[in-house]
Amino acid sequence: MAGSGVVTVYGNGALTETTKQSPFSVKVGLAQMLRGGVIMDVVNAEQARIAEEAGACAVMALERVPADIRAQGGVARMSDPQLIKEIKRAVTIPVMAKARIGHFVEAQILEAIGIDYVDESEVLTLADDENHINKHNFRIPFVCGCRNLGEALRRIREGAAMIRTKGEAGTGNIIEAVRHVRSVMGDIRVLRNMDDDEVFTFAKKIQAPYDLVMQTKQLGRLPVVHFAAGGVATPADAALMMQLGCDGVFVGSGIFKSGDPAKRGRAIVQAVTHYSDPQLLAEISCGIGEAMVGINLDDKVERCAGDMSVLFVPIYGGEFGFVDQIYNQFSTVKMSARCVNFLYPGYASLHARRLLTGLEQWHVANLCRNDFVA
């Protein structure tokens, strides 16, 4: 394998190359075939067929789309293998499925079903808040999320053959996806012009393996395929992601939470192909029905009116104080919000993340009764 893969495997044993099957080049290869395409989240075989008809280059099987996970709360897990098998039978395009972060047994099950790609996804509930799956142990390729260059390179070192920027799943709001794509691309641009002597410190700063940092510098891009995800709801959103330099997009709730999924799906597929052609984009954006309503997470604490009573608490990195404050309020004041949703723990530091996990459990315990006004 010397010199043949992107990830040079350290030591013996991390990757068993007993067969010629699925070395890293083959794993990355499939992702390269997906470039310039749209990967759509589907929850059943019927949606999978709609996605295939719309021109999706792959479908992602999961039990609920991110918008529903967000709205309903609870623990989100790998989908039922039976359902995945049905979806696999229904379409000829590659089928991906999500596994919880760190849940390598879910990944083993998905590999056994013969899925084409596993998404180790932060949209599902975390199974391990410290470790990700050692993806070198698998013959199937993995796609992982990232918010910045350091995180992307750490995932690649763990064996991810494809990277997607996280954005904010299930909101229909593109702002976080833009932020993350800009962050990754910006860091790469900085890296490209960096003095070689400074790369060691840069690698330390972004907490990424030095050799992958160096490889990224030489290539001027991530060494694996890089898709955008989270909040893509319109053809314009998809084209924006492509113009920012992504290789393709994932669309989750954006399609099947909209008025006319088939039409919108087709429009987004076309937008990704013709991303640099404003005239065509204008044409395909016309009359494609209602977009998903989405959620604006801009307000720090937003509470929907009426008996919906959905409370969103976005927690941005570094704001421990705010997290503590919310936490305290929750512990002391009971509230009427039937459902409390948090931004995915991505933003929060590990410290905050632990609090969040506690809170989520608390929320599952359904203690939400009294009045709580933020």
Partner 1 sequence: MVVGVLALQGSFNEHIAALKRLGVKGVEVRKPEQLLNVSSLIIPGGESTTMAKLAELHNLFPALREFVQMGKPVWGTCAGLIFLANKATGQKTGGQELVGGLDCTVHRNFFGSQIQSFETELPIPQVVAKEGGPPCFRAVFIRAPAILDVGPDVEVLADIPVSAIAIQKEEDSTESGKKVIVAVKQGNLLATAFHPELTADTRWHSYFLKMVPEIEVGASAIISTSTTTQSFGGRPIIDFPIYQ
Q: How far is the CB of 257 from partner 1 (least distance, A)?
A: 22
Tokens of 27: 């794993």
Which of 67, 145, 151 lies closest to 100, judged by CA? 145
Closest separation between CB of residue 151 and partner 1, Å? 20
The DSSP letter of residue 165 is E
Q: Does 72 bind partner 1 (CB under 8 A)?
A: no
The yes or no reply on residue 86 touching partner 1 (CB under 8 A) is: no
Candidates 10, 14, 33, 75; binder of partner 1 (CB under 8 A) is 33
Given 27, 88, 98, 135, the catalytic residue: 98
CB of 148: closest distance to partner 1 in angstroms? Answer: 19
- CB of 169: closest distance to partner 1 in angstroms? 23
Q: Which residues contact 368 (CB under 8 A, 6 or more apart)?
A: 334, 335, 336, 337, 338, 339, 340
Is 120 a binder of partner 1 (CB under 8 A)?
Answer: no
From CA 289, how far away is CA 22, in angstroms rounded?
A: 42
Smallest distance from partner 1 to CB 342, Å: 34
Size of the site for partner 1 (CB under 8 A): 60
Q: Which two tokens stand for residue 183?
A: 């962050």
Tell me which H or E stretch contains 204. helix 199-206
Residue 8 binds to partner 1 (criterion: CB under 8 A): no
Sign of the CA dihedral with 11 first, then 14, 18, and 22 last? negative
Picking from 21, 44, 8, the residue whose alpha carbon sits closest to that of residue 141 is: 21
Tokens 């996605």 map to which residue? 51
- Residue 325 within binding range of partner 1, rule CB under 8 A: no
Residue 66 in contact with partner 1, rule: CB under 8 A: no
Based on the shown chain and the rule CB under 8 A, indicate whether residue 32 belongs to the binding site for partner 1.
yes
From the list 101-109, 143-151, 172-180, 267-275, the region that binds partner 1 by CB under 8 A is 267-275
Kindly indicate which of the ranges 98-106, 109-117, 254-262, 295-303 contains the residues binding partner 1, using the contact rule CB under 8 A: 109-117
Listed in sequence order, the residues at least 6 apart from 226 whose beta carbon sits closer than 8 Å to its beta carbon are 152, 162, 163, 164, 165, 184, 245, 246, 247
97 bridge partner residues:
61, 118
Which one of residues 139, 182, 205, 369 is an interface residue with partner 1 (CB under 8 A)? 139
- Identity at 322, one-letter amino acid code: F
Is 222:156 a contact under the CB 8 Å cutoff? yes
Q: Are 95 and 141 in contact (CB under 8 A)?
A: no
Q: Coil, strand or helix: which one is 146?
A: strand
Minimum distance from residue 35 beta carbon to partner 1 (Å): 6
Q: Which is nearer to partner 1, 115 or 149 (CB)?
A: 115
Stretch that binds partner 1, among 147-155, 215-223, 298-306, 346-354 (CB under 8 A): 215-223
The residues pairing with 143 across neighbouring beta strands, listed in sequence order, are 119, 162
209 binds partner 1 (CB under 8 A): no
Q: In what order do the strands lie in the sheet with 339-342?
A: 302-303, 310-313, 339-342
Residue 178 makes contact with partner 1 by CB under 8 A: no
- CA-CA distance, 119 to 142, in Å (whole number)? 6
Instruction: Tell me whether residue 98 is one of the annotated catalytic residues.
Output: yes
Is residue 276 a contact point for partner 1 (CB under 8 A)? Answer: yes
Q: Decide if residue 260 touches partner 1 (CB under 8 A).
A: no
Residue 107 in the binding site for partner 1 (CB under 8 A): no
Asked if 95 and 87 touch (Cβ cutoff 8 Å), the reply is yes
| Contact stretch for partner 1 (CB under 8 A) within 29-37, 172-180, 290-298, 336-344 | 29-37
Kindly report the backbone phi and psi dihedral angles of residue 164, in degrees, each rounded to the nearest multiple of 5, phi listed first: -130, 140
The reply to whether 5 sits near partner 1 by the rule CB under 8 A is: yes
Please identify every residue annotated as catalytic. 98
Residues that bind partner 1 (CB under 8 A): 3-6, 19-23, 25-26, 28-30, 32-37, 49, 52-58, 88, 90-95, 111, 114-117, 139-141, 215, 219-221, 223, 242-243, 245, 266, 269-270, 272-277
